[in-house]
Amino acid sequence: MDYLYDGTYEGLLCCLYCHFLKIPATGIYQKHIYQRHLINPYREVPSLEKYSDYMDQKLKQHLGELISSQIFQCFLYEKGETENIILRFVDLCFKKGAKYAGFHTHPIVSSFDEAVRKVKYETHRYVGYVRFIQMGEYLYSSIHPQYNILPLIGGHFSDRYKGEKIIIHDVERKIALAANDGNFLVIPFDKTDLSKHAKNNFFEILWKTYFDHIAIKDRINPKLQRNFVPLKYRKDLTEFK
């Protein structure tokens, strides 16, 4: 059975719930990109809080907090068979024991480790590479990360800039990190690179969206020297503009 979900981490957890407690999955796919075929039956899995919370607790109980956090990091990899890398990894660890998470030469574990490593590495780089420009009462930065790292850097920047209203805009994914008073949310933001169009009304729109979303529980909320900066990062750094 192929399970289709809405693209959220909660939706993925619901698919894992169905895999272990209902019908084993042959694969997990985002429903908007799934290509139907005649071989495997499929089922759309709704995102239900009771299922995602249950699965989240089971992951922490069986695998521990560290591995559970790495599963979320792997989810943010967003490349190729990400969901099925997670499915195979969790299935292996649940069936053969949590110790298998440490068998780094195992092909299933190796694929999982590689995705996590790449996401963590880029997260670390962007903590040092984000550059803000002042736009009215806001601090704004546009970034173009390879992986979906905003949920992982939010804690760092919301804590560091507690007294500021900051916006970190992932231009390609059309989402933004909005932070204020030590809190942050990752929300949809379908705008161009605002560093090229310094109009405060854009920020008023985003900030209204931030406050509209802040009470919604299921939003993502979780945290060189010049010559050594890779070229792919330079377009987002003011010192290279």
Q: Do 109 and 142 reside in the same domain of the chain? A: no
- pLDDT for the residue 220: 45
Q: Which residues contact 157 (CB under 8 A, 6 or more apart)?
A: 130, 166, 168, 177, 179, 184
Q: Do 117 and 148 reside in the same domain of the chain? A: no
From the list 176, 120, 128, 178, the residue with the least C-alpha distance to 152 is 120
Query: What single-letter DSSP state applies at residue 5?
Result: E
Beta-sheet strands, E only, within 31-130: 42-44
Q: Do 139 and 193 reside in the same domain of the chain? A: yes
Q: What one-letter code names the amino acid at 217?
A: K
From the list 223, 78, 206, 227, the residue with the least C-alpha distance to 156 is 223
Name residue, tokens 């984000």.
Answer: 130
* Residue 138 forms part of a structural domain: yes
- pLDDT for the residue 187: 87
Residue-level pLDDT, tens digit, the chain, 241 residues: 999 999 999 999 999 999 999 999 999 999 998 988 768 899 999 999 999 999 999 999 999 999 999 999 999 999 989 999 999 999 999 999 999 999 999 999 999 999 999 999 999 999 988 988 888 888 999 999 999 999 999 999 999 999 899 999 999 999 999 998 888 999 888 766 666 555 555 556 666 666 666 555 444 444 333 333 445 554 554 444 4
From the list 161, 166, 186, 165, the residue with the least C-alpha distance to 176 is 186
Q: Do 66 and 163 reside in the same domain of the chain? A: no
Q: Which of 95, 121, 147 is where one domain is finished? A: 121
Query: What single-letter DSSP state applies at residue 90?
Result: H
Q: Which of 103, 121, 139 is where one domain is finished? A: 121
* Residue 229 forms part of a structural domain: yes
CA distance 106 to 89: 10
- pLDDT for the residue 25: 97
CA distance 116 to 79: 12
Q: Residue 61's Cα: distance from chain center in Å?
A: 22
Q: Do 8 and 39 reside in the same domain of the chain? A: yes
Q: Do 79 and 185 reside in the same domain of the chain? A: no
What are the structure tokens assigned to 219, written together? Answer: 């939003």
Q: State the total domains in the chain.
A: 2
Q: Do 109 and 150 reside in the same domain of the chain? A: no
Q: Which of 89, 121, 153 is where one domain is finished? A: 121
From the list 81, 83, 2, 88, the residue with the least C-alpha distance to 40 is 2
pTM of this prediction exceeds 0.85: no
Domain that holds residue 167: 131-240
* Residue 215 forms part of a structural domain: yes
Q: Do 89 and 181 reside in the same domain of the chain? A: no
* Residue 126 forms part of a structural domain: no
Nearest 5°: the CA angle 6, 9, 11 is: 40
* Residue 194 forms part of a structural domain: yes
Q: Do 135 and 105 reside in the same domain of the chain? A: no
CA distance 137 to 46: 40
CA distance 111 to 76: 14
- pLDDT for the residue 239: 42
Q: Do 222 and 163 reside in the same domain of the chain? A: yes
Q: What one-letter code names the amino acid at 130?
A: V
- pLDDT for the residue 12: 97
Q: Do 138 and 232 reside in the same domain of the chain? A: yes
